[in-house]
Amino acid sequence: MAEFEQITPGMTNERVVTVEEKLTVSHTKVPVLGTPMMVGLMESVAKDLIQPLLLPGFTTVGFEVNIRHRAPAFLGAQIRIWTKVLEADGRKLLFEVRVTEGDKVIGEGLHRRTIIPV
């Protein structure tokens, strides 16, 4: 679809955040980054990569997440959330997503989004 041709494989985006209390889970004795919060950050960085390229009246929504939460990120940690477009097929988008703390991989996987009219 011509209106989405600006979105191409290889495009990347990233954000660095500090793990704050609101990003941790409450059921552990030590506050660590929660998996749902990590997934939310991954989705947000992917959305923020694409949104500026869309025509007015369009946005993206996630419809599939396949990730592994590999290591803890403790309260106060500086984490980097990174994404890359792997596929752009019309309205369907596939992203590689990763969260790291320095060289340590906190989480990684694949995320799919689709472009919808609003």
Which one, of 89, 101, 109, 87, lies nearest residue 19 by Cα?
Answer: 101
Which one, of 99, 40, 90, 92, lies nearest residue 68 by Cα?
Answer: 99
Find the domain containing 9 and state its range: 2-117
- Name the residue with higher pLDDT: 2 or 71: 71
> Per residue in 56-67, pLDDT tens?
999 999 999 999
Helix count and strand count (H, E) for the chain: 1, 5
Q: CATH no. for residue 28?
A: 3.10.129.10
> Per residue in 91-116, pLDDT tens?
999 999 999 999 999 999 999 999 99
Pair of tokens at residue 110:
């694949």
pTM given for the model: 0.94
Arithmetic mean of pLDDT, 75-89: 98
Arithmetic mean of pLDDT, 72-84: 98
Residue 2's pLDDT is 59
Q: Is the pLDDT of residue 1 over 70?
A: no
Number of domains in the chain: 1
